[in-house]
A and B are shown apart, each in its own frame.
Chain A
Amino acid sequence: MKRSDRRKRRRFLARALGLASVGALAGCEKLSQTSWFPAMLGKADALSEGAAKLVGRKAMAQEFSPADKSPTFRSNGTADPGTDDYQALVGDGFAGYRLVVDGLVEAPRQWTLAELRTMPSRSQITRHDCVEGWSAIAQWKGARLAALLQSVRPKPSARYVVFHCADPMEADGSDLYYESIDLDDAYHEQTILAYELNGEALPVKNGAPLRLRVERQLGYKHAKYVMRLELVDSFARIGGGKGGYWEDQGYQWYAGI
């Protein structure tokens, strides 16, 4: 082969590769904008969830020593729901607060904060992992969700617990935050409705009076300002139908990764 031929061939290869990669990247952009392609990629979530359940369905999240605690536990997402109803609750020290548990249960009921404090509880120093990538360590104390569920007796058709919250995600006070977990997580020993952070009453910025701790999942699953638990067989008719506020925006429902 002549030297000039070789040079031509090399130039052609370089251009072809350059064009192909530019085209491929533009293709990635186009595919991200479709609804079918991300939905297809999202099928891998079921694989991830299945694998996680297979290797550690009841595994316990690591617990840390007091020395590992972060100096402060930052607030992320809503720092204050700011609605009139919520202000009224804060105003009387949450004396008027009632946690409602209903949906597919035999015996729906309500709890005051004082009653919740008498329920079987758990205290744990755990790591909070935000979907953004950061982690913080803090001590949480709260009522075990399993105990609440035993009290209301879920019907056999119940598959998920939906957490309805007080914080609106829109400036006009609409689109209240919500989340959901399955019964594996709901009955997990470390799943609590926390009313204390680092030994003190849960502050407003961290979800007062009650927030979910579901230790093996990312931060957005840990609903703050929890007002009502609803047991459901499907979350198709709630919110955007994906099982949570961030899930409706495209985030994974299974947030164990």
Chain B
Amino acid sequence: MDNADASVMPVAGGYVYRRHALAVRVMHWINVVALTILLMSGLGIFNAHPALYWGLSSYNGKPPIVALTAVDTPDGGKRGVTRIFGHEFDTDGVLGLSAQPNGQRAIRGFPWWMTIPDMQWLSMSRTWHFFFAWVLVLNGFAYVIYSIVTRHLSRDLAPTRFDLAGIRQSIVDHLHFRHPRGEASTRYNVLQKFAYLAVIFVLLPLTILMGLGMSPWMDSVWPGWVGWFGGRQSARTIHFICAWLIVLFVLVHVFEVIITGVYNNLRSMITGRYRVSEVADEAK
């Protein structure tokens, strides 16, 4: 949202302006690729031991809090199940046990179509994961520095007093799928700002930190720090939960992109150009 140096071009019924700077567009799509690969290779790594624990270790006399596994059926077969806090759910075909690309049923946490590589291959999943972890971290650093230096952060992302006063109205608007139009659509709305800030400054850093918390070497750098989060196995669980919260954010983000004009939004993140319609809300 670089209004300052935007070249505004009038078109019939409105105008087109440059919404996203080139750097933001490039970093956005690098993030799309990195996060997709990190999620899928991460699930591949998870599949090597598809259970989550809370605490310092996995063997502390307590069962896992989450386990994707298979149980015997009375007819001599097996079914995939998911156990969460002792409750067992039948998740056959997706979690615990699923069909491989060749059609054969196999015991595995997440199914082949959610992992990189598709077959169970821990060392290859790790190779993908640790490369794209660096991509995410370096891209993230570049984004934060860029956003501070160019004032993208203070100008476009920081909520204004006016924004804060309108939170209640913004929640109501979102629940009715009502979105700002006209001039107002050139600014992020307040919920959008909070969502972006939470992902950029809380969720992604926490995911990365909990990833580092699983590294025995990084744990040693400040002995005991991973204990502040409950221990290494808790860090692994938090890393897993954070990954799915990022997925949840992406689902909502894509949903909002679609209902507020998928073509216009996508174009603005590819070429930078965003069309604003002159609408009756000028009268507001």
- Residue numbers of A with Cβ under 8 A of B are 6, 9-10, 13, 25, 28-29, 32, 38, 41-45, 47-48, 52, 55-56, 59-64, 68, 70-74, 127, 129-137, 215-218, 246, 249-252, 256-257
Please give the number of chain B residues whose Cβ is less than 8 angstroms from any Cβ of chain A in the complex: 48
B154 at the interface (CB under 8 A from A): no
* Chain B residue nearest to A72 in the complex (CB): B59
A-B contact pairs, 16 of them (CB 8 A): A29-B118, A32-B121, A42-B127, A44-B131, A48-B130, A55-B221, A60-B220, A61-B216, A63-B223, A131-B122, A133-B46, A133-B58, A134-B53, A251-B122, A256-B217, A256-B218
Task: Give complex CA distance A249, B122 in Å.
Answer: 11
Q: In the assembled complex, which residues on chain B have CB atoms less than 8 Å from the CB atom of A55?
A: 218, 221
A73 to B57, CA, bound (A): 11
A251 to B113, CA, bound (A): 23
A146 CB to closest chain B CB (Å) equals 17
CB-CB under 8 A from B133, the residues of chain A are: 44
Give the residue of B45, B123, B221 whose beta carbon is less than 8 angstroms from that of A133.
Answer: B45
| Cβ-defined contact, A28 with B117, below 8 A | yes
B218 touches A134 (CB 8 A): no
Is there contact, CB below 8 Å, between B48 and A131? Answer: yes
Query: Which residue among B46, B221, B236 has the maximum number of chain A CB atoms within 10 Å of its CB?
Result: B221
Residues of chain B in range 153-172 having any CB-CB distance to chain A below 8 Å = none
- Flag if B131 contacts A64 (CB, 8 Å): no
Q: Which of A28, A68, A216 contacts B216 (CB 8 A)?
A: A216
Verify if B74 is at the interface (C-beta below 8 Å from A): no
What number of A-B contacts does a CB cutoff of 8 Å give? 150
- The SS class assigned to the B binding surface is helix
Cβ contact within 8 Å between A61 and B49? no
- Residues from chain B with a CB closer than 8 A to the CB of A41 are 127-128, 130-131
- 6 new A-B contacts at CB < 8 Å, known A217-B216, A246-B123: A13-B263, A32-B121, A44-B134, A55-B221, A133-B46, A136-B59
Q: Select from chain A the residue with minimum beta-carbon distance to B221.
A: A56
Contact with A along B103-128 (1 / 0, CB 8 A): 00000000001001110011110111
Which residue of chain A is the closest to B126 with respect to CB atoms? A252
Name the CB-closest residue of A to B215: A257
Is the pair A257, B58 in contact by a Cβ cutoff of 8 Å?
no
Contact A250 B124 (CB under 8 A): yes
* Inter-chain contact A52/B217, CB cutoff 8 Å: yes
Given A32-B121, A60-B223: A52 in contact with B126 (beta carbons within 8 A): no
Instruction: State the Cβ distance, B35 to closest chain A Cβ, in Å.
Output: 13
What's the minimum C-beta distance from A191 to chain B, rounded to whole angstroms?
A: 12
CB-CB < 8 A to A48: which residues of B?
Answer: 130, 134
> Is B215 a contact of A28 with CB atoms below 8 Å?
no
Top 3 A-B pairs, shortest CB-CB distance? A256-B217, A70-B59, A56-B221
* Known contacts A9-B263, A62-B227; is-contact A70 B57 (Cβ 8 Å): yes
- Say yes or no: A29-B220 contact (C-beta < 8 A), given A70-B59, A130-B49, A132-B48: no
Contact of B116 with A28 in the complex, beta carbons under 8 Å: yes
Report whether B216 and A215 are in contact in the complex, using a CB–CB cutoff of 8 Å: yes
Min C-beta distance of A153 to chain B, whole Å? 28
Q: In the complex the two chains form, is A59's CB within 8 Å of B116's CB?
A: no
Q: What residue of chain B has the Cβ atom nearest to residue A62's Cβ?
A: B223
Query: What residues on A are CB-neighbors of B118 within 8 Å?
Result: 25, 29
Instruction: Write out the residue numbers on chain B whose beta carbons fall within 8 Å of the beta carbon of A216.
Output: 216-217, 219-220
Contacts of B60 in A (CB 8 A): 68, 70-71
By beta carbon, the residue of chain B nearest A33 is B117
Asked if A62 and B117 make an inter-chain contact with CB atoms under 8 angstroms apart, the answer reads: no
- Bound Cα distance from A257 to B239, whole angstroms: 14
CA distance A252 to B216 in the complex (A): 14
Chain B, 33-87, CB within 8 A of any chain A CB: 37, 40, 45-46, 48-49, 51, 53, 56-61
